[in-house]
Amino acid sequence: MSLGAFSVSLGVKDLKKSKAFYENLGFETFAGTEEHNHLIMKQGDTLIGLFQGMFDGALLTFNPGWDQSAKNVGSFEDVRKIKARLTEKGIAVSQEQGGNDGPASFVVTDPDGFPILIDQHRAASD
């Protein structure tokens, strides 16, 4: 099972301050806009999402169908199939979004309480 591109998403208090901090660490704005209260910062293959006012704390994020540059990969496993596989293994799923195809997401929580978002942005091509 491939979960796709990986990033850490941070719920920040002040987007401009967080942006400046990560720029000082060598990150550059890759996606998102300050007007929409979120930025994706990138350094090499490392991605950090900064989200102001959307959630608290941090979560791990995986994007099926994308590589580390948010470019579409060829064939990939649909998020609904990933969810079904995890459910079969007894992993609880929450915060499900999306319909029967196309973009969809869900959250699982690891044993220590860390949320993991599986967030697919396009239809899968099996």
* Residue at 73 is within a domain: yes
pLDDT in tens, 65-111: 988 888 888 889 999 999 999 999 999 999 988 888 889 999 999 98
pLDDT score for 102: 87
* Residue at 62 is within a domain: yes
The range of the structural domain enclosing residue 44 comes to 5-120
**Contact indicator for 49, 33 with CB cutoff of 8 Å:** no
Interatomic CA distance for residues 80 and 101, integer angstroms: 8
Interatomic CA distance for residues 94 and 51, integer angstroms: 20
* Residue at 126 is within a domain: no
Q: pTM for the whole thing? A: 0.85
- What residues form DSSP beta bridges with 98? 104
* Residue at 125 is within a domain: no
Dig out the tokens for 68 from the structure: 């580390």
Strand ranges for the chain from DSSP E: 5-12, 28-33, 38-43, 46-52, 57-63, 94-98, 104-109, 115-120
Helices (H), strands (E): how many in the chain? 2, 8
Q: In CATH, what number is assigned to the domain containing residue 75?
A: 3.10.180.10
pLDDT score for 16: 96
Dig out the tokens for 36 from the structure: 């929409």
* Residue at 41 is within a domain: yes
pLDDT score for 125: 67
* Residue at 59 is within a domain: yes
Alpha-carbon torsion 56, 92, 83, 6, what sign? positive
The tally of domains found in the chain comes to 1
Q: Does pLDDT of 126 surpass 60? A: no
* Residue at 29 is within a domain: yes
pLDDT in tens, 23-76: 999 999 999 999 999 999 999 999 999 999 988 999 999 999 988 888 888 889
